Amino acid sequence: MLKKLASFTGWLLVLTLSLIFCFTFGLWLNWHTPAIILFWLMLLLLSSVLSGACYALKNLLCGKKGHRWLEKYRLSRREYVLLTHWKRGANIIKRIRRQQSPLPWYVLIGNRCGKSTLLASAGVPHFDDENSDIIAAPTRTLHWWFFRHLCVLDLSSNFLSGDAAMRQAWRKLMRWCMRLPAPTGIIVAMPIGALMSNDLSALHVLMRQHRALIEPLIHRYGEGISLSVLVTQCDNFPGFSLWCRQLSDAQRQQPLGYCWPTPPHIDGQDEQALHPLFSAIKTGMARTRLSMGRPSALSEQDYAMVLDFPDTFATLESKLRYALASLCEPNAYFSHTRLNSIWFCASEPHQDNLTRREGVFIHKLLSGHLRELSLHQGIQRWYQRPRAKFACSLLSALCAIWIVYSAWLTFGRLQPDVAQMSADNLADFLAHDERYSSLSLAYLPFQPLLNKQHRQAEWQLLSLPSLPRLITPTTASFRQRFMAAPARQQREMILQLTHAILVWQKMRRHTTLDALHNVVPIAIPLQQRDYPATLSPLTVMALERGYIRRPEGAIWLQRARNLLEGLVNQDQTLSWLLAADSRFPDLQAARFWPALPDNLALNGRWTQAGQTTLSSWMSQIENAVGHPVALFHQAAITSTAQRQDAWKLYLIDLAAHLQAMTPATMPLSRLVALGQNQSQAMQFVAHCLQELQDIPGTQAQPWLLTLRQLHQLALDSQSAGLLHRVSKVDQQVRRSFIAWLKKMPSPATKNRMQADNHVWLQWLNARNSAVAEAVAQGKLSPDLTRGLFNPQQQAATANPLSTLLPALVTLQEQLTPQNTDAGIAAVWQLYQDDAHHLLGHAMAQSACWLNSQWKSTVIWPLNNSSTLHSYEEQQTQSKVLVNAFLLGPAKAFLVNGTDGQTAADYAGMPFPLSASFIDFLRHASSPEMMQDVPQRPSTLTSDRRTLLQGQRDALIAERSALENARWGITVSSLPATVPGGASVLPIGTALTLHCQKGDQQLSSMNFADQQNFDWQPGHCSGVSLKVFFPDFTASYQLVGDNAWPYFLRHLSNGEMRLDSDEFFDNAALLHQLRIENILVRFTLSSPQQLESAWRHWREISRKIAAVDAQIAGLDSDAETVTFNPLSALPEDIAQCQ
């Protein structure tokens, strides 16, 4: 149990570690999760296959089945011995082949027919280490026989035994033979006893065994290897030994047999197949018999046998033909073979030593005849065979046809008048000639002639007169014009130079004129020469190509590259590259919002098309320069941040313009598109994300990350439920795994994602509800704006618009809490655009309804009564209708502002009332008119004024009581004088109190006179004092209700010093008389009561003045409403769009 648990734990650990490795590797390469899982499964599958293969290989090598299977490829002891013997002879053949001409070698096979004994007793010298031919031993495996000009591979008859081990050894031996040069032939040895036997089936089986054995070699080399038949043990034929003893030694060494000059067709049914063999043998034996005469040592019986031997030997023809048919006749299993010769031989015991044998008819066969046959066979090559001859003839005919056809085509391309052609004709000829490939088989035999004609035409074209340009002045002039040009023209000049360099490079790479003619021509200021204006563009291109291929053309090209590199690097800011261009048009906001101005656009170089165009230009310039440009590399590094900054500023500007858009009614198609997340703002968001999709998340700015997050939330909300959950789990797993790899605490992504989805769905539901209500609205009504301007307004159903913007604010606080980035604010403004459009649609619908109500309740009744009432009555009626309209349908859409009544607003969007109607309201009605009487400001003002008026009345009554009382005081005069003396002194005084009931006066001529004065507060308005001089009178006056108390207060010590300037009319005269001060003296009787009464009266007066001021303030705040004339009534009161 523990073993199984440990095994399970180990496998689980391996799977877990492999999965962690795959996830780490996949996240490093930014793979998607399905790709990572697939990679993990493939890794597991590959590991399983490899482990299974290793296990199977282990079982194969170590198990019983493996041993049996490897027996086919492993060498047994017999096979090892066989390989050892094989290598010895094979090495000799290879060495001889390397050092001199190849040594012909034959394969000798036979089934216990004495072939080894025959080779050993042939009397031919051996040239190997085993040259002992005294005792012939049977061949157990194989034996190499190396003669002077021949090598024979003697194979053991055991290979014909049919043993499985021997069959396997034979197959390996055949593979080894195929590693050597092809054998010259195969010699099949068969005993003559098989031909003398009457068992034809045994003979057939024997021959088929031989054929099956040599079939691999015949199948491998085909008719290239000849087949010879060697009939051995002929001494067993009756009369053969007797016949041989009658021959000389030279005759006994000659070969006995026949060699066909043309291989015969062996067929068991053809009785004449071996006729040439036996006819030649019989003829030769007959001639030999005549040369013998009659030996005296032969008996009559032996002599008769010798005479009858040729005819007796010819009886072997039928059985030999049958044997050869079994050996050579092809069938479904054996291929056709070529029979070369048949030989008869034997080995007889030596007369002097019976242990030794002497070969008969074998010596010359081994020493020379087989060698000559190999040489003759070597002369006959493969192409001398019938099929090869037919193939060669067919190939020769095809070659002849090919050459004739090529000559005919080439003749059509030859132009004998090349030297007389004009420049344009030469260029056309070169372009036409280059359309044919130089490797085309149709023109290959005569391609040198065509090449010569082409070179002649090029030379003829280049010999035309043209004025060469110097490279230094040309580059200097181009640089000077470049420095004086604006940025956009500088870019065009650099691109012209780049294009010229690229075209020159193509020219040097032997590009055809047709290909060059399809490109833009090289600019005239950059051409290498001044060409006549009459030349065609193709001719100029051909001339440019010819000159650029010259050595001076290489110098021109290098100087142009140096010029291009210098022009590119002269401006570190790359202003020439970033200039505006029509090839990357600006992204206009009017493309998505037609109401926005056309000048609100993003520079086209920051779009994907612009970046692609700029990258293409930079790549062309680098290809022209020949190496990377450092400025371009730096620009590529900063391009990502600059693109995002440009898009950010564009979004901020766009958001500012979107906020200023006025409410308007949306058509049904736009409402449906908005509900499907295909509104103008969402289309712009999708386009923005598509333009910036190549920016990786690690380099994205916060606003772009927020935009991607919002777009992903939208995509997730549109996806299926199961797919959405799988995607969320995938994102959570990836984030947690990345945090674990970075050894950071795993963020609470699950709760965060759920919260994000929740607030997003709240916003989505609110938006969809608002869209559904807007789509479902039939006739004009204010239902879409119910409760927006007056939250206390009771409605049957809640307005979804009231939850739309709060839901978006909640979403913003959830995704980007406490973020003050302007780009993120612009992103949220894009999403607010949908809410603003829905709100604007609702306001526009309500505005149209209110406008229709104005016409039906105000304008239409006035139109109907225009002929029935007077102007004053119509004005009164209009005032009533307007007041009813304002207190009725329009009440919910008006608010009181600082300047009077104005349009209500919601979320910063005012209700679209016309300016004329707002101006009419401010002049024709009071703001408090929209309020109930208790809440009106005028009611409160009246209440306060009444309270103040009561206070004023009480104060006036109290003051009246003080004014009705009299306050008396006795004043006694004393002499008046001038302090310090003067030339003229006062002679008397006169003090007068001016009251409403009459003046009271005290006159004194500097005597002690006395007078009673009665003073009433508020009734005495002045005091006058006259100082009499001998010739004039100086007057001093005090005016006001406080004049008498003031005068008495200054006389409290009995005297009063008056400056001369206080005597206004007599001041100059007094100064002239050197009188600076006048001292008057009076005595008073108890002025305290009068002073107290004065203070009390003054305090009451001040309170009355304060109350009057408050009343006056209230009266000034009260507005006087003057009703406008009938002509001031607006026809339309709302901006109904």
DSSP string, 118-152: HHHTS-PPP-SS----SS----SSEEEEE-SS-EE
Q: How confident is residue 133, by pLDDT bands cut at 50, 70 and 90? A: very low
Q: How confident is residue 795, by pLDDT bands cut at 50, 70 and 90? A: low
Between 621 and 964, the more confident residue is 621
Q: How confident is residue 1101, by pLDDT bands cut at 50, 70 and 90? A: confident
Phi (first) and psi of residue 549, to 5 degrees: -80, -10
Q: Can you tell me the mean pLDDT for 437-466?
A: 86
Q: How confident is residue 399, by pLDDT bands cut at 50, 70 and 90? A: very high
How far apart CA 1058 and CA 1078 sit, in angstroms, is: 5
Third-level CATH fold of 77-234+248-282+315-379: Rossmann fold (3.40.50)
pLDDT exceeds 70 at position 205? yes
What is the C-alpha end-to-end distance of the chain, expressed in Å? 84
Q: Which range (566-580, 687-701, 743-757, 877-891) has the least confidence?
A: 743-757
| Winning range, highest mean pLDDT, from 274-288, 914-928, 1122-1136 | 274-288
Q: Residues 634-660: pLDDT tens digits?
A: 888 888 889 999 999 999 999 888 887
Q: Which range (814-818, 864-868, 908-912, 947-951) has the least confidence?
A: 864-868
Q: Residues 1055-1073: pLDDT tens digits?
A: 888 888 888 778 888 888 8
Q: Is-contact 1011 1002, C-beta < 8 A?
A: yes
Residue type for 539, please?
T
Return the number of other C-beta atoms located less than 10 Å from residue 359's C-beta: 24
Q: Which range (595-609, 616-630, 1074-1088) has the least confidence?
A: 1074-1088
Return the number of other C-beta atoms located less than 10 Å from residue 275's C-beta: 13
Q: How confident is residue 931, by pLDDT bands cut at 50, 70 and 90? A: low
pLDDT exceeds 80 at position 744? no
Q: How confident is residue 344, by pLDDT bands cut at 50, 70 and 90? A: very high
Q: Which range (75-79, 227-231, 932-936) has the least confidence?
A: 932-936
Q: Which range (552-556, 762-766, 1065-1069) has the least confidence?
A: 1065-1069
pLDDT exceeds 70 at position 943? yes
Q: Can you tell me the mean pLDDT for 400-429?
A: 88
> How high is the pLDDT of residue 674?
85
| Winning range, highest mean pLDDT, from 316-325, 940-949, 1035-1044, 1086-1095 | 316-325
| Winning range, highest mean pLDDT, from 292-296, 1005-1009, 1079-1083 | 1079-1083
pLDDT exceeds 60 at position 445? yes
Q: Can you tell me the mean pLDDT for 900-912?
A: 81
> How high is the pLDDT of residue 1121?
47
Mean pLDDT of the chain: 82
Q: How confident is residue 134, by pLDDT bands cut at 50, 70 and 90? A: very low
% of the chain surpassing 70 pLDDT: 89
Q: Provide the b/e sequence for 143-158 (b: ≥16 CB within 10 Å).
A: bbbbbebbbbbbbbbb
Q: Can you tell me the mean pLDDT for 737-755?
A: 58
Paired tokens of 505: 């490079």
> How high is the pLDDT of residue 747?
45
How far apart CA 998 and CA 1016 sit, in angstroms, is: 12
Q: Can you tell me the mean pLDDT for 1022-1048?
A: 86
Q: Residues 669-690: pLDDT tens digits?
A: 888 888 888 888 899 999 999 9
> How high is the pLDDT of residue 813?
85
Q: How confident is residue 1113, by pLDDT bands cut at 50, 70 and 90? A: confident
Q: Can you tell me the mean pLDDT for 724-743?
A: 64
Q: How many residues does the chain have?
A: 1137
Q: Give long-range contacts, CB 8 A cutoff, 24+ apart: 252-256.
A: 252/360, 252/361, 252/363, 253/123, 253/361, 253/362, 253/363, 253/364, 254/361, 254/364, 255/343, 255/345, 255/361, 255/362, 255/364, 255/365, 255/369, 256/281, 256/343, 256/344, 256/345, 256/361
Scan for tokens 């004014």, then name that residue: 963
> How high is the pLDDT of residue 1062?
82
**Residue 970, beta-bridge partner list:** 1012
> How high is the pLDDT of residue 480?
92
Q: Residues 884-903: pLDDT tens digits?
A: 887 788 877 888 777 777 88
Q: Can you tell me the mean pLDDT for 82-106?
A: 85
> How high is the pLDDT of residue 135?
55
pLDDT exceeds 50 at position 106? yes
Q: Residues 145-201: pLDDT tens digits?
A: 988 888 999 998 888 887 888 888 888 888 888 888 888 889 999 999 988 888 888
Domain with residues 967-1086, CATH architecture: Sandwich (2.60)
**Residue 360, beta-bridge partner list:** 346
pLDDT exceeds 80 at position 244? yes
CA 222 to chain centre: 61
What are the residue ranges spanned by the domains of the chain? 13-69, 77-234+248-282+315-379, 400-462, 467-632, 663-848, 967-1086
pLDDT exceeds 60 at position 281? yes
Q: How confident is residue 130, by pLDDT bands cut at 50, 70 and 90? A: low
Query: CB-hemisphere CA count at 13 Å for 758?
Result: 9
